[in-house]
Amino acid sequence: AKNAGVSQIRSFHPALKENFRQRIGLESALREALDRKQFFLCYQPQVSASTGRTLGMEALIRWQHPELGLVSPLHFIPLAEANGLIGHIGAWVIDTACAQLAAWRQAGHADLRMAVNLSATQLLDPYLEDTLLGAIAGHGLVPADLELEITESVLIQDPEQTVARFNALRQLGLRLSIDDFGTGYSSLSYLRVLPVQAFKLDRSFVEGLGKDETSLEICASAIRLAQNLNLDIIAEGVETQAQAEWLRALGCPIFQGYLFARPLVAEAATEHLAQERAG
Ligand code: C2E
Ligand code: CA
Ligand code: CA
Ligand code: CA
């Protein structure tokens, strides 16, 4: 099997070989990114559908590499998951997001919440609780200030472990939400066993509003399901006034998307909050 692997690499198409080299390059660059302070967070407002006020911010990681430029998390998060770097990167995200929320609290934004994305590997990391509690206490916050966004696809990998991990995090008092709701191809019956407080209605369904009947039905069902289960639901990727109107008519309570604000660097997010309060 070892030999087969070697000959497979030798017979790689030149383009694939290039790809392979790029991946190795990207991986070693990623290893240095934390030390070289190449990561930063952007924050995207999650706004009330009725008042337009910012209820929370979602922290979204960015990697600015001197030669590669801005690398999308869609590229480097899977890589970091595969090579074990995600623990360190995730801990940096959690600490930085908590520090920022504490600063906003100090500036008078009393009820603001912070949402942080967790990948599958992070969820199963035995140090996760320590990292979370350390950052929360270290910045004078309480667990309920933080919402963890986790995609339902984690359930496919290891349902039993996932449920146990969700329960452990919930017991600590953290808020949990299901990211990209509706795209995970898993059974809805998991809702009976996962202690979540919110869904994030996937952008693909929001995008289809006003275009296809199926998207409308899926949005309507998801919103109704959230209402019936007494959960929050946040519509992702709201880009147009028409989409916001559809969602409002369906009873969606929280919006997030370019229509309201793009992900903002810390200074711009701070400015956004200050203006909102003044206005
Ligand atoms: P996600 O959690 O589903 O995040 C939403 C993505 O949609 C973000 O992309 C955001 O910038 C983008 N977005 C927001 N509003 C709109 C809109 O109105 N229209 C469109 N077209 N896009 C919108 P981003 O920042 O590139 O992040 C991509 C994914 O990378 C995230 O998807 C999340 O899964 C992952 N990610 C980002 N930051 C972190 C992190 O700190 N940790 C982990 N584990 N994953 C992260
Ligand atoms: Ca998310
Ligand atoms: Ca999402
Ligand atoms: Ca997504």
- ipTM score of complex: 0.98
Name the residue of 38, 61, 117 whose CB sits within 8 Å of the most ligand 1 atoms, as the mutation to test its pocket.
117
Report CA(116)–ligand 4 centroid distance (Å). 13
Report CA(114)–ligand 2 centroid distance (Å). 11
Which ligand 1 atom is the nearest neighbour of the CA of 44?
Answer: 14
Residue 115 has φ and ψ, to the nearest 5°, of: -105, 135
pLDDT score recorded for residue 191: 87
Residue matched to tokens 């019936």: 228
pLDDT score recorded for residue 18: 62
The binding-site residues of ligand 1, defined as CB within 6 angstroms of any ligand atom, are: 44, 59-61, 72-74, 77, 93, 117-119, 149, 179-180, 203, 236-239, 257-258, 263
Tallying the residues shown for the chain, one arrives at 279
Nearest ligand to the CA atom of 46: 1
C-alpha–C-alpha distance, residues 147 and 200, integer Å? 12
Q: Whose CA is nearest to atom 11 of ligand 1?
A: 263
pLDDT score recorded for residue 21: 62
Q: Whose CA is nearest to atom 23 of ligand 1?
A: 237
pLDDT score recorded for residue 235: 98
CA 255 vs CA 18, 108, 168, 210: distances in Å: 41, 23, 28, 17
- Compute the CA torsion angle 159, 163, 166, 168 (nearest 10 deg): -130
Nearest ligand to the CA atom of 237: 1
Residue ranges of E strands in 107-197: 113-118, 146-151, 175-181
Report CA(204)–ligand 3 centroid distance (Å). 10
Q: Whose CA is nearest to atom 46 of ligand 1?
A: 117
C-alpha–C-alpha distance, residues 190 and 176, integer Å? 14
Report CA(183)–ligand 1 centroid distance (Å). 15
With vertex at residue 158, the alpha carbon angle to CA 157 and CA 159, rounded to the nearest 5 degrees, is: 115
Report CA(9)–ligand 3 centroid distance (Å). 35
Per-residue pLDDT reduced to its tens digit, 39-70: 999 999 999 999 999 999 999 999 999 998 99
Residues with pLDDT less than 70, the chain:
1-21, 23-24
C-alpha–C-alpha distance, residues 272 and 275, integer Å? 5
Reported pTM: 0.92
Per-residue pLDDT reduced to its tens digit, 136-167: 999 999 999 999 999 988 887 788 999 999 99
Q: Whose CA is nearest to atom 13 of ligand 1?
A: 237
CA atoms within 13 A on the CB side of 216: 9
- CB count, 10 Å around CB of 271? 12
Report CA(60)–ligand 1 centroid distance (Å). 6
Name the residue of 39, 46, 60, 77 whose CB sits within 8 Å of the most ligand 1 atoms, as the mutation to test its pocket.
60
C-alpha–C-alpha distance, residues 89 and 121, integer Å? 12
Which ligand 1 atom is the nearest neighbour of the CA of 149?
Answer: 2
List the structure tokens of 217. Answer: 């039905």
